[in-house]
Copies of this chain bind each other. A is one copy, B any other.
């Protein structure tokens, strides 16, 4: 099952790490640490193998992919020996990267993306292409009448307005090209009525949004712990210090607000009430591709006794996100192959702000994911039987 992985933001840290990692896995140079789909509970025949993945993508930037990879190696995100061992493979991917689409209207630019996606699929004889958004977080867009339904959207895009934010224009183009879409960022992406309706019409699945890679991952196990023990969380305050490109983007208050809202949701929905305190994102250039989050939780036990917990998470976002990007591409491809349509709420495990599912508990999300992949594999075994 040859599968294209089309990365929006293909020269960014997450995408570059995904590509280097995918190539290294294919070449047997690295193991699948961090790849959820390689765990015994999820592994199976329905998923395309790492060798089946072909990478391509768009990016506004033009820095050569191998330079980006070397920079990531210098800053400790990926081992330099892997970059050094994969020059031809990286050069081959470089050939599949395209600049930002041009055109007079957003409709023109969407058409250019569709053309890139279609050509990519045909050039490599791919069964399907999964589009994954890993580009920088956008501010929330202004409302526009074109967001309401597919017809209104189609009409509006031919005019002069910037109807859709970039992430949504890519989602739109993906749907037109018949590609499943995954949003790994907190940007709008496919979450507009016009686009979800279009996905239904096109019989395409999609997944999102906002990859759960750090502080929120920890929250999604600690908050259920407090809930299961009937402990009253009085306050939960967090600060995220991060460098890297995304850090600078998130220093923008509008983008920050979107991300922070998505971060606090897990608490309200898991605990059933919103504790005091908030979560905050700050840019500290020196941290580079690493992120340090600190959270203080104050809680009450029996008879009101006050207690507290602190944690510090010092993670490399790209190294945490990249294997999940590969997982999501594999799972979404398998879901598409199995005929799933609409929001893949079974993939909530991967996201801070999961589509179409109320639970934020990692354990519950895991249980759903295990069930979902079991069904995919079972169906695939059937398919294989038929094929045989």
Chain A contacts to B: CB under 8 angstroms: 17, 20-21, 24, 30, 32-36, 38-39, 76-79, 82, 217-218, 221-222, 224-225, 228-232, 234-235, 237, 239, 241, 276-278, 280, 282, 284-287, 290, 292, 294, 296, 298, 300-316, 319-320, 322-323, 349, 361-364, 366
Q: Kindly provide the distance from the CB of A280 to the nearest chain B CB, expressed in whole angstroms.
A: 7
A222 to B35 CA separation, bound complex (whole angstroms):
18
Q: Kindly provide the distance from the CB of A202 to the nearest chain B CB, expressed in whole angstroms.
A: 32
A48 to B204 CA separation, bound complex (whole angstroms):
53
From known contacts A225-B221, A316-B307, A363-B224, infer whether A284 and B30 are also in contact, taking CB-CB under 8 Å: no
Q: Kindly provide the distance from the CB of A166 to the nearest chain B CB, expressed in whole angstroms.
A: 26
A221 to B231 CA separation, bound complex (whole angstroms):
15
Q: Kindly provide the distance from the CB of A225 to the nearest chain B CB, expressed in whole angstroms.
A: 5
Chain B neighbourhood of A320, CB < 8 A: 301-302, 307
Would you call A241 and B304 a contact (CB within 8 A)?
no
From known contacts A232-B33, A302-B33, A303-B21, infer whether A284 and B276 are also in contact, taking CB-CB under 8 Å: yes
From known contacts A39-B230, A241-B296, A301-B319, infer whether A225 and B33 are also in contact, taking CB-CB under 8 Å: no
Would you call B310 and A77 a contact (CB within 8 A)?
no
From known contacts A38-B230, A222-B221, infer whether A292 and B296 are also in contact, taking CB-CB under 8 Å: yes
- When the two chains form the complex, which single residue of B300, B309, B361, B363 contacts A218, counting CB atoms closer than 8 Å? B309
Integer count of this chain's copies in the complex: 4
Chain B neighbourhood of A82, CB < 8 A: 303
Interface of A (DSSP majority class)? mixed
Chain B neighbourhood of A305, CB < 8 A: 76-78, 316, 319
Chain B neighbourhood of A322, CB < 8 A: 302
Would you call A230 and B32 a contact (CB within 8 A)?
yes
Q: Kindly provide the distance from the CB of A31 to the nearest chain B CB, expressed in whole angstroms.
A: 8
Chain B neighbourhood of A232, CB < 8 A: 33
Return 22 A-B CB contacts under 8 Å, by A number: A17-B303, A33-B230, A34-B301, A76-B305, A78-B305, A79-B303, A217-B225, A218-B222, A221-B222, A228-B366, A230-B323, A239-B294, A276-B284, A277-B282, A278-B282, A280-B282, A287-B298, A290-B307, A292-B296, A302-B323, A309-B311, A362-B363
Chain B neighbourhood of A287, CB < 8 A: 235, 298
Q: Which 10 residue pairs spanning A and B have beta carbons closest together? A: A363-B363, A305-B319, A301-B319, A34-B302, A311-B311, A234-B286, A221-B221, A302-B323, A235-B286, A307-B315
A349 to B363 CA separation, bound complex (whole angstroms):
14
Chain B neighbourhood of A311, CB < 8 A: 309-312
- When the two chains form the complex, which single residue of B21, B280, B309 contacts A312, counting CB atoms closer than 8 Å? B309
Contacts A235-B286, A301-B320 supplied; 5 other A-B pairs, CB < 8 Å: A21-B302, A218-B222, A228-B362, A302-B323, A362-B363
Would you call A218 and B229 a contact (CB within 8 A)?
no
Query: Chain B residue with minimal CB distance to A322?
Result: B302
